[in-house]
């Protein structure tokens, strides 16, 4: 297990179509995050899971977006009825939850992302 894998790397779709992205996190990580990044901006939080539970969802995420992590392992992010404004890089990251400890080398491991272009 060498890191976080995302599939596909690139997706071009027509407006109105549905798309689904997959993320395979680092196997021992219990937390999985989805972020969206547009050109020149920092990653924006979309949602995160601890194991199979979706614990938080951004207000940025419209009803057209849904994410699942059915067995606490891989996750999927689906966008229904895509719009041109959905064009972005969708990043997945994973981490371990550590409560009550101060860890100096603890952070997210990001995947390479899925670049979505809606035409």
Beta strands 109-110 and 10-13 are unpaired
- Sign for the CA dihedral angle at 27, 64, 47, 108 comes to positive
Comparing CB distances to another protein, the nearer of 14 and 107 is: 107
Q: Can residue 1 be called a binding residue for another protein (CB under 8 A)?
A: no
| 12, 17, 45, 57, 105 from 86: Cα distances, Å | 11, 12, 14, 17, 33
Residue in the block written with tokens 């995420």:
61
| Residue in 48, 77, 94, 118 binding another protein, rule: CB under 8 A | 48
- Closest CB 4 distance from another protein, rounded Å: 9
Comparing CB distances to another protein, the nearer of 84 and 105 is: 105
User: How many binding residues for another protein (CB under 8 A)?
Assistant: 31
* Chain residues 97-116 in contact with another protein, contact rule CB under 8 A: 97-113
* Chain residues 5-24 in contact with another protein, contact rule CB under 8 A: none
Residues 6+ apart with CB under 8 A from 114: 6, 7, 8, 9, 10, 11, 21, 89, 90
Q: Can residue 55 be called a binding residue for another protein (CB under 8 A)?
A: yes
Q: By the criterion CB under 8 A, which residues form the site for another protein? A: 31, 33, 35, 40-45, 48, 55-56, 91, 95, 97-113
């Amino acid at each position: 297990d060498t890191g976080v894998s995302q599939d596909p790397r690139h997706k071009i779709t027509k407006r109105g179509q549905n798309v689904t992205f997959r993320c395979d996190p680092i196997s021992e990580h219990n937390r999985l995050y989805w972020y969206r990044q547009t050109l020149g901006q920092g990653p924006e939080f979309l949602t995160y899971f601890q194991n199979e539970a979706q614990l938080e969802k951004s207000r940025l995420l419209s009803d057209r977006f849904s994410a699942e992590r059915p067995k606490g392992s891989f996750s999927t992010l689906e966008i229904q009825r895509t719009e041109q404004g959905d064009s972005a890089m969708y990043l997945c990251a994973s981490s371990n939850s550590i409560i009550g400890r101060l860890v100096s080398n603890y952070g997210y491991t990001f995947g390479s992302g899925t670049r979505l272009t809606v035409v």
